[in-house]
Chains A and B, each alone.
Chain A
C-alpha cells in the first residue's frame, strides 16, 4: 500500500488561507468517507484535527476545515496563525491488505 500523496511544503502569511491536498485512489480516499487529518508539532505526538473528511473534534478551531473530491481530500486552514506552523498528515481507511494509510506529510510554514 503506497502512502497518500501530499505536497512537501505549503506556506502562507498570518491571516491568509492555505490548502493542503491529499491524493489517493478509489481504494482509499475516493472510496470511503474515512479521511482524517493530524497536526504534529516538532517532537510532539500527532493531534486529530479533522475526521470523516470534514468533521472537527471538540476543541479544534473552526479555522480548520476538510473536504473531498474524487480521490483527493483537502485540509484548509483559514486565518493562518503562527501556532499553525507544523507538519500535517492525512490518513484514510483502505480496502487493501492494511486498513490504514497515511499521507507523505506536509510542512506548513507561517511566513
Chain B
C-alpha cells in the first residue's frame, strides 16, 4: 500500500525557514517523480515543485523559485522541501504527491502538513 507521510510544518515568522519531509513507502521510491502541492486556507491547489527520480532534475513554480529547494534521499525513501525567506502568502497545507511514470497526474497524495507564516 502506497503511503506518503509529511512532517515538519508549523508556525514560522516572515523571513524564516522551515524544512518539510515526506516519508514514502509501498512503492519503489527512486523510480518516481515526486512533487509538492500546496493549498492556502480556503483556496485551491497550487503546484509548488517537482523532482526527478534520480534527484538530478528539479522544477519550481515562479512564486517559490530562488526561495524553496526540493531534494530527496532515495536511501531513506524521503522527499524534502527546504523553504527559506518565507512570506505570509506561503501559508498553506503542503502535500507531497507521487506522479505516475510517464504521466502528468498525481496518483497518491499525503495527508498534508500545515505551514503558517505569521509574526
Contact = CB atoms under 8 A, between A and B. Distances in A.
Interface of A: 3, 32, 34, 36, 38, 44-48, 51-52, 57, 89, 91-93, 97-105
B101 interface: no
B88 interface: no
B103 A51 contact: yes
Contacts of A57: 107
B109 A102 contact: no
Given A36-B104, A45-B112, A99 B59 contact: yes
A102 B111 contact: no
Interface string B92-108: 00010000100111111
Given A38-B106, A48-B108, A89-B45, 8 more contacts: A45-B95, A45-B111, A47-B109, A48-B106, A48-B107, A51-B105, A104-B44, A105-B45
12 contacts: A36-B104, A48-B107, A48-B108, A51-B105, A97-B62, A98-B61, A100-B35, A100-B50, A100-B104, A104-B44, A105-B44, A105-B45
B14 interface: no
Contacts of A38: 45, 106
B44 A52 contact: no
Interface residues of B, number: 22
Contact of B47 (A32, A36, A48, A98): A98
Nearest to B62: A97
Contacts of B107: 48, 51, 57
Nearest to B96: A45
Given A48-B105, A51-B103, A99 B44 contact: no
B46 interface: yes
B53 to A, nearest CB: 15
Interface in B66-119: 95, 100, 103-112
A79 B107 CA distance: 25
Contacts of A99: 47, 50, 59, 104
A103 B106 contact: no
A45 B104 CA distance: 18
